[in-house]
C-alpha cells in the first residue's frame, strides 16, 4: 500500500515510513495531518490561560542550547523567594489564569524544601489553580542531589500538590545528539521512566522535542517513536510539543535556522506518527505566533496559552517575554478561521469564543 493511502486509512506508520513522509510536498503532508486533526476536533483550537514562573536560573548543569541558566553568557543569577512567587500569582489573577506552570533550573543552593513547599503554599492560597510543575530533568536532579528514588520524589510532588508534569527536558532522545547538546542531564531512558512512574499514579504529563539544532530528521522520528512506544503502555501524555530551537545567547553554534517548511512538516509528521497522543501543541513562543497559527492547518490543535511572562525561550531570542493578551490571542485564532476553545490543564473544554 502506498504511504499516503496508509495514512489516509489511519494505519500506523513505521519509523522508516515516517522519515519518508518528509519527502512529500508540504501541502500533501499538511492535508494528511489536517484531516486527522479535523476528524478529532473539527476547527477547534485549544488554549488555556496560564502563568509561567521560572523561580530560579541558577543551574548546576550546562546545556549548550540554554540561554536561561546563569552563566558567562547570562551573568544575572536570580532566585525568587516564595513570597515573590505568591505575589506574581496574585498579580496575575485578574487575567483569569487557571494554571501555573513552574519550571526551575537545577539549583543546588536552595534545598529540597524550597522546591516543594511553594506548591503547598500555592494550594493554600489559590486552591483552584492547577499546578503544572517539575520536569523530569528537575526530578532527576532532585533525586540525585538529595539521595531519593524517583518514586520518593513523585510521592512528594503528590503530597505537596503538583497536579501534572510539564514536558520539558526531553530535548532529543538520541543518545549521541543528547550528549552533544546537554551532556550530564537526565538520560533519555530515565526521562521516559520518570514519566512512566508519574503516569502509573494515574497522573498526566506532556512531552516536548527540541529540534532545529544539530539533530537530523531521523533523530526527530526516533524521538517520536520512543514517545509513541511509551504512550502505548501508559496513555499518560496529553500533548506533544515540538519546540523550535532558538539560537541566541547560548553555546551551540548553529548558523542556519530551520525553514518554516521544515517546521510545519515536522509538526504535521508528529500528528501522523503520534496516533495515540490526543493533542499536538504548536508552542507559539518558539515557532512565532504567525507560524503557530499556520500550524493549525498542519495538524496542531493547541496553541498553549497566554503565559504572561516567559523567561527560558525569550533568553534565547524568542519574542515571548511578556506573553500575550487573551483578547488578542482569541482574535488571532478566529481570524485564522479556527474556533478558539478555552480548556483547562487536562483538556476539559471551558468556553468557546
- Is 304 among the residues that bind ligand V47 (CB under 6 A)? yes
- Is 241 among the residues that bind ligand V47 (CB under 6 A)? yes
**Pairing between β-strand 237-244 and β-strand 205-211 as defined by DSSP bridges:** parallel
Nearest Cα to 201, choosing from 246, 151, 251?
Answer: 151
- Site size toward ligand V47 (CB under 6 A) is 23
Per CB under 6 A, which of residues 92..151 are in contact with ligand V47?
Answer: 103
| Piece of the chain touching ligand V47 by CB under 6 A; list 138-146, 163-171, 172-180, 224-232 | 163-171
What is the smallest separation between the CB atom of 352 and ligand V47, expressed in angstroms?
A: 21
Interface with ligand V47 (CB under 6 A), residue from 30, 55, 161, 166: 166
Interface with ligand V47 (CB under 6 A), residue from 69, 92, 188, 208: 208
Cα 313 to Cα 31, 93, 128, 287: the distances in Å are 30, 23, 28, 11
Per CB under 6 A, which of residues 246..265 are in contact with ligand V47?
Answer: 246, 250
| Piece of the chain touching ligand V47 by CB under 6 A; list 23-31, 152-160, 221-229, 310-318 | 310-318
Query: Cα(172)–Cα(289) distance, rounded to whole angstroms?
Result: 23
Interface with ligand V47 (CB under 6 A), residue from 7, 51, 66, 177: 66
- Is 210 among the residues that bind ligand V47 (CB under 6 A)? yes
* Residue whose C-beta lies closest to ligand V47: 168
**N- to C-terminal Cα distance for the chain?**
42
- Is 342 among the residues that bind ligand V47 (CB under 6 A)? no
| Piece of the chain touching ligand V47 by CB under 6 A; list 63-71, 88-96, 196-204, 255-263 | 63-71
As a whole number of Å, the CA-based R_g of the chain is 19
| Piece of the chain touching ligand V47 by CB under 6 A; list 11-19, 266-274, 309-317, 324-332 | 309-317
What is the smallest separation between the CB atom of 250 and ligand V47, expressed in angstroms?
A: 6
What is the smallest separation between the CB atom of 9 and ligand V47, expressed in angstroms?
A: 31
- Is 65 among the residues that bind ligand V47 (CB under 6 A)? yes
- Is 312 among the residues that bind ligand V47 (CB under 6 A)? yes
- Is 283 among the residues that bind ligand V47 (CB under 6 A)? yes
Per CB under 6 A, which of residues 167..196 are in contact with ligand V47?
Answer: 167-169, 171
Nearer to ligand V47, 73 or 82 (CB): 73
CB-CB neighbours of 35 under 10 Å: 16
Nearer to ligand V47, 106 or 217 (CB): 106
Nearer to ligand V47, 3 or 103 (CB): 103
For ligand V47, the binding residues (CB under 6 A) are: 65-67, 103, 166-169, 171, 206, 208, 210, 241, 243, 245-246, 250, 283, 286, 304, 312-313, 316
Amino acid at each position: 500500500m502506498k504511504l499516503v493511502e496508509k495514512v489516509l486509512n489511519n494505519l500506523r506508520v513505521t519509523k522508516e515510513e515516517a522519515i519518508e513522509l518528509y519527502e512529500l510536498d508540504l501541502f500533501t503532508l499538511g492535508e494528511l495531518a489536517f484531516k486527522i486533526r479535523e476528524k478529532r476536533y473539527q476547527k477547534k483550537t485549544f488554549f488555556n490561560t496560564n502563568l509561567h514562573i521560572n523561580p530560579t536560573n541558577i543551574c548546576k548543569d550546562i546545556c549548550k542550547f540554554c540561554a536561561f541558566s546563569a552563566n558567562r553568557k547570562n551573568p544575572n543569577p536570580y532566585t525568587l523567594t516564595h513570597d515573590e512567587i505568591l505575589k506574581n500569582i496574585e498579580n496575575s489573577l485578574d487575567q483569569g489564569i487557571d494554571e501555573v506552570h513552574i519550571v526551575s533550573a537545577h539549583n543546588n543552593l536552595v534545598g529540597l524544601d524550597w522546591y516543594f513547599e511553594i506548591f503547598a503554599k500555592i494550594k493554600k492560597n489559590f486552591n483552584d489553580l492547577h499546578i503544572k510543575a517539575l520536569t523530569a530533568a528537575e526530578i532527576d536532579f532532585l533525586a540525585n542531589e538529595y539521595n531519593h528514588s524517583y518514586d520518593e520524589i513523585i510521592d512528594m510532588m503528590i503530597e505537596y500538590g503538583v497536579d501534572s508534569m510539564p514536558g520539558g527536558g526531553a530535548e532529543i532522545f538520541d543518545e549521541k545528539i543528547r550528549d552533544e547538546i546537554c551532556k550530564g542531564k537526565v538520560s533519555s531512558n530515565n526521562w521516559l521512566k520518570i514519566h512512566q512512574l508519574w503516569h502509573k499514579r494515574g497522573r498526566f504529563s506532556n512531552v516536548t522535542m527540541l529540534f532545529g539544532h544539530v539533530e537530523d530528521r531521523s533523530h526527530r522520528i526516533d524521538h517520536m517513536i520512543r514517545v509513541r512506544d511509551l504512550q502505548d503502555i501508559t496513555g499518560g501524555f496529553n500533548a506533544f510539543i515540538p519546540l523550535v530551537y532558538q539560537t541566541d545567547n547560548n553555546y551551540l553554534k548553529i548558523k542556519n535556522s530551520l525553514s518554516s517548511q521544515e517546521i510545519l512538516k515536522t509538526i504535521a509528521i508528529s500528528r501522523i506518527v503520534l496516533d495515540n497522543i490526543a493533542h499536538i501543541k504548536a508552542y507559539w513562543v518558539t515557532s512565532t505566533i504567525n507560524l503557530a497559527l499556520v500550524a493549525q492547518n498542519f495538524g496542531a490543535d493547541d496553541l498553549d496559552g497566554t503565559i504572561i511572562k516567559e523567561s527560558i525561550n525569550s533568553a534565547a531570542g524568542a519574542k515571548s517575554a511578556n506573553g500575550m493578551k487573551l483578547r488578542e490571542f482569541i482574535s488571532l485564532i478566529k481570524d485564522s478561521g479556527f474556533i478558539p476553545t478555552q480548556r483547562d490543564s487536562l483538556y476539559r473544554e471551558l468556553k468557546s469564543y
